[in-house]
Amino acid sequence: MSRIGKQPVEIPAGVEVKIDGNKIVAKKGNITKEVDTRGFVNVEIKDNKVVFSPKGDDRQSRAFWGTYRALTNNMIEGLTKGFEKRLEINGVGYRAQVSGKNLELQLGFSHPIIFPIPEGIEIKVEKNIIVVKGHDKQQVGQVAAKIRGFRPPEPYKGKGVKYVDEVIIRKAGKTAKK
């Protein structure tokens, strides 16, 4: 039995949720998100809650039960609160700035890195912190991972782009012989 799948998803005020065939469509204002269950789970709306149940009793149906419940919960949470990832830039001369629809990063290369900001993502730069915000959890995480991938933190001095809550395990450098 899926512990996650058993829990119903609350529908907060201001969010409309409809079931359109195999799709769960959530709408708040002019933002519409949808999750396609592909017919792997049964979905019902009862008492202002979205309730999931597995189609069959096989292992795959039970796995999809929890997965689609989690995806729906993330979709509704994204419409109400949104998601945010914070990245920190460490290094001498390393900096970032938003110019128009691009994020310009100077990370010690001979050229600046120009990253086009995708649709539905908002990026702010505060000193050496890059804040990535959006309604889609997967997209926010993907954009943050791409930005981090331009210059991952190195283990000796910790220079590079890292998540704010990430811990870099430092290595000892060379030691001089006496």
pLDDT by 10-residue block (mean), the chain, 178 residues:
83 91 91 90 92 88 90 94 96 94 95 95 95 96 96 94 94 79
Tell me the helix, strand and coil percentages in the chain, rounded to 5: 20, 40, 40
Please state whether the predicted TM-score (pTM) of the whole model is above 0.85: yes
pLDDT at residue 175, as a whole number: 79
- Where exactly does CATH 3.90.930.12 map onto the chain? 3-80, 83-163
SS3 8: coil
pLDDT at residue 1, as a whole number: 54
pLDDT at residue 166, as a whole number: 93
CB contact at 8 A, 51 and 154: no
CB under 8 Å to 111, separation ≥6 — which residues? none
Q: Which CATH architecture fits 3-80? A: Alpha-Beta Complex (3.90)
Look up the CATH superfamily of 83-163. Ribosomal protein L6 (3.90.930.12)
